[in-house]
Copies of this chain bind each other. A is one copy, B any other.
């Protein structure tokens, strides 16, 4: 199998490439070739995989055509700017979060009718806005309240149309908020779910802008990678009428996060959290939990069963 990854140098992309090199198969199909694309080089450890790197802006139709030129069997689209950045730099948000989807879908269409790759798209529960019910089902209306969410929703609509027309065989995974994000603190509105754990465990202070009773839908990066890999292996029939899937997650409160941190890092770690007073975010600001019924029926499964496990996954990666 030949696999392409758009956004290979990003948080999810890097991890996806690593696991595809470590476990070079999808379902029962061996992977013998990778095409990775990003605006930045990926600086991968050497491997004996047949690997081609495209460095460039995939929103440019010429670059998109280069990525698709060798007709990969599966395209993973995991390129994105975070919610905060998409709101700060409006044009960059549309270019990275929407135009790269459109350009790659167009490249598959222009490749001709006999080419129809599986296209796995990393969407997000960031598409939801407004007044949230306690639990959100698979037909709840998505009304984005951020440019990031609008771009994800438009991308989903586009890939459903390209799929209906037979140009690709796409599936969009609405990923939970990923925790614990590696790297430096991010200031997207959900970055703090990671910051308040990662920073104290590294001996650094972190700001908590949310009330303790805020509950949100989280999944580990490891679960997200598992979802992407699983989506690549689903039979085409399974996706007809189900091309947008809310992924399983854990509904975790800020208080539960802090209790898990106390368990693992002790009082000293918890003392490094600076609680913003009054808090910026209240429970009504976040979707809390999802049924994720369709995804579960298709075999998407979360690796973690509680937030302490999410922390231990993070420490294992260290």
Partner-B contacts on A (CB < 8 A): 90, 109, 130, 139-145, 147, 150, 153-154, 157-158, 160-161, 164-165, 241
Contact = CB atoms under 8 A, between A and B. Distances in A.
Given A90-B109, A109-B90, A154-B154, A161 B144 contact: yes
Contact of A158 (B142, B143, B150, B165): B150
Contact of A157 (B90, B140, B144): B144
Given A139-B141, A141-B140, A157 B150 contact: yes
Contacts of A161: 144, 147, 150
- Number of copies of this chain in the oligomer? 2
A215 to B, nearest CB: 23
Nearest to A143: B160
A153 B157 contact: yes
| Centre residue among A139, A141, A144, A161 by max chain B CB count within 10 A | A161
In the A-B complex, the 9 residue pairs with the smallest Cβ-Cβ separation, listed nearest first, are: A150-B161, A154-B154, A139-B141, A150-B157, A141-B141, A154-B157, A153-B157, A147-B161, A154-B158
Contacts of A90: 109, 165
A101 to B, nearest CB: 11
Nearest to A153: B157
A150 B105 CA distance: 14
Given A90-B109, A90-B165, A150 B160 contact: yes
11 contacts: A130-B241, A140-B141, A143-B160, A145-B164, A147-B165, A150-B158, A150-B160, A150-B161, A153-B157, A154-B154, A154-B158
